[in-house]
Amino acid sequence: MKNILIINSGSSSLKFQLIKMPSEEVMASGLVERIGQESGKVHYKSEKFSTSEEMHVEDHSVALKEVTKYLMHTENGVINDPADIPAIGHRVVHGGASFSDTIIINEQVKSKIKELFSLAPLHNPPNLKGIEVAEEIFPKAQQVAVFDTAFHQTIPSRANRYAIPNDFFEKEHIQVYGFHGTSHKYVSEKANELLGKKTTKLVTVHLGNGCSMTAVMDGQSVDHTLGFGPVNGLIMGTRSGDIDQSVIFYMIEQLGYSAQEVSDLLHHKSGMLGLTGYSDLRDIEDQAEKGNRECQLALEMNAYRIKKYIGAYAAVMNGLDAIVFTAGIGENSNVIRKMVCNDMDFLGVSLNEKENDIRSKENRLISSENSRVKVYVIPTNEELEIAKQTLNMIS
């Protein structure tokens, strides 16, 4: 048995899980939030002990030291020494064209992650910071990078290239990279287990504040809704999803917006927030039920976009075995799932509404017995997927 520490380092947060592998036992988990702000918070949970403590957390180094203090607490801790953790798996959002698989981190890898800052300016810098801090606190542990983009490296050229001059691809590496790869990989493998076969045609639907869909054929990503950046495709909490490029030019040339202002608008002020004034889907569903027409329309638009991509991906794969809903909204919103799956009988999709209405953290089938296409809800577990890949690297 090996203790694998999983770190997901954000710009002002640090999520962690300590997982005993290969038994998959979660020994401890938690979150440090509002790092660098006046009032931070440390959340820690284990079988023995749980707490939420407010404190000033100056930087990521302080955050991980606080986590380590809880992990090694004399009475309530789960390890005795930093050396009890032989490996640390880090979520790194963007691997560009450089990383198609999980990799043991060395100076060259860190240098390459730094080179990719421009492709993921909100994510890769704190990801690298988490790596550097972990090296300092756990000097004997092997550091492993698991890239969000890696699963999508199998997307063929016909699907991952943009129809712009070739120089932009060859010299600037502008192409579809895709995101949420760890989640799509995990749930597609679980779906294959439930279907009892590996040669499958799946559409995995990751719905959270950020949203994406993947066409997964025989275990490999063959198309994906997000592209060069994380704003394309589906309507998200604050991101627009697909938009006609002419709208962007019009905003800049005719309405006087700067490129930065348009970028900020499409990333942070659009999506469900722009349509309704709310970014949390629970608020939107609640308002829609009370008759708020803006919220009703936003839900219809959201479901329509998902449905449209399901049809497109069924076409490119020449068939469909299952649709898989995952992540916060995908796992919990029976409203969105019902709106997506209704009126898709031509594709062989028939929902069991009673099963769809059940709230559960278990993998479950929500399609009816006569549904030719299975519909599953499979809770994602990116941390466990990272732990599995990290264990494979050090075994």
Range of the domain at 48: 2-147
> For the whole model, what pTM was predicted?
0.88
Point out the least confidently predicted range of 4-8, 23-27, 62-66, 356-360: 62-66
Answer yes or no: do 18 and 126 share one domain: yes
Sign of CA dihedral 293, 297, 298, 299: positive
**The domain boundary residue, chosen from 147, 176, 204:** 147
Q: Output DSSP code: residue 349.
A: B
Answer yes or no: do 51 and 111 share one domain: yes
Neighbour tally for 140: CB within 10 Å: 10
96 has binding-site annotation: no
Judged against a pLDDT cut of 80, whether residue 121 lies above it is answered with: no
| Single-letter amino acid, residue 323 | I
Answer yes or no: do 263 and 140 share one domain: no
Q: What is the distance between the alpha carbons of residues 251 and 370, in angstroms, rounded to a whole number?
A: 49
Answer yes or no: do 227 and 329 share one domain: yes
Q: What is the model's pLDDT at position 273?
A: 93
Beta strand pairing call for 40-46 and 374-377: unpaired
161 has binding-site annotation: no
Answer yes or no: do 205 and 91 share one domain: no
Whether residue 391 lies inside any domain: the answer is no
173 Cα distance to chain centroid: 23
332 has binding-site annotation: yes
Judged against a pLDDT cut of 90, whether residue 315 lies above it is answered with: yes
Whether residue 338 lies inside any domain: the answer is yes
- What's the CATH number where 100 sits? 3.30.420.40
Which is higher by pLDDT, 166 or 382? Answer: 166
pLDDT, one tens digit per residue, over 145-197 is 999 898 999 999 999 999 999 999 999 889 999 999 999 999 999 999 999 99
194 has binding-site annotation: no
Q: What is the model's pLDDT at position 82?
A: 85
How many alpha carbons lie under 13 Å from residue 287 in its C-beta half-sphere? 19
Judged against a pLDDT cut of 80, whether residue 119 lies above it is answered with: no
Percent pLDDT > 90 in the chain is: 64
Answer yes or no: do 219 and 313 share one domain: yes
Among the listed residues 343, 330, 264, 265, the one whose alpha carbon sits nearest the alpha carbon of residue 302: 330
Q: What is the distance between the alpha carbons of residues 266 and 248, in angstroms, rounded to a whole number?
A: 9
pLDDT, one tens digit per residue, over 319-374 is 999 999 999 899 999 999 999 999 999 999 999 999 999 988 899 999 999 999 99
Active-site residues: which are they? Answer: 148
End-to-end CA distance of the chain: 11
Answer yes or no: do 128 and 202 share one domain: no
Judged against a pLDDT cut of 80, whether residue 212 lies above it is answered with: yes
